[in-house]
Amino acid sequence: MKFLLDTNIILVYLKDKSTRDRIDNLYDPLGPNNIPILSIVSLGELESIMLRNNWGKRKVQKLEELLNGFLIADINFKDVIKKYAEIDAFSQGKLKDNPLNLSARNMGKNDLWIAATAAVTDSKLLTTDKDFDHLNGKYLDLVQIQLIK
């Protein structure tokens, strides 16, 4: 099975052992029978987080080791671009053939790219973010992870 991990799930893997262990026990996205995918957009977000928070070499190395087995999905493909536009229009309630039936959802642009990538790669999207909820079952298969506090 293919799993696209949202940026926040990568951060969970780096700093929240109990939630990480629960994800692994329930879904095993990094296991040998699954394909872990990361959007190039998430890679950019992670680079930004590293710079803003002045990560040290050890933490950067831990991230690099974690991402070593991932497929990195680019967004520079016609199918992804078209799906981005469709999901954006749907989220705004502007898609005639596919009405939202809710009030408009203002998704962040990075989340739109991540959703489009999950949809086009036919991957389950693992996230802690509720901004994708209205897309579940229509554009993607969403796995909502609750953080353990």
- How many of the other CB atoms lie within 10 Å of CB of 109? 10
- pLDDT for 37-71, tens place per residue? 999 999 999 999 999 999 999 999 999 999 999 99
Q: Please give the structure tokens belonging to residue 121.
A: 């790669």
Residues in the chain: 149
Q: Please give the structure tokens belonging to residue 50.
A: 């590293």
CA nearest 142: which of 101, 103, 93, 87?
A: 87
Instruction: Please say if the pLDDT value at position 122 is more than 80.
Output: yes
Backbone angles phi, psi at 38, to 5 degrees: -130, 130
Residue 111 has what pLDDT? Answer: 98
pTM for this one? 0.94
Residue 104 has what pLDDT? Answer: 75
Backbone angles phi, psi at 35, to 5 degrees: -120, 110
- The DSSP bridge partners found for residue 124 are 3, 141
- pLDDT for 84-110, tens place per residue? 999 999 998 888 787 777 777 889 999
Task: Give the number of C-alpha atoms closer than 13 A to the C-alpha of residue 112, restricted to the C-beta side.
Answer: 17
Residue 149 has what pLDDT? Answer: 67
Instruction: Please say if the pLDDT value at position 14 is more than 80.
Output: yes
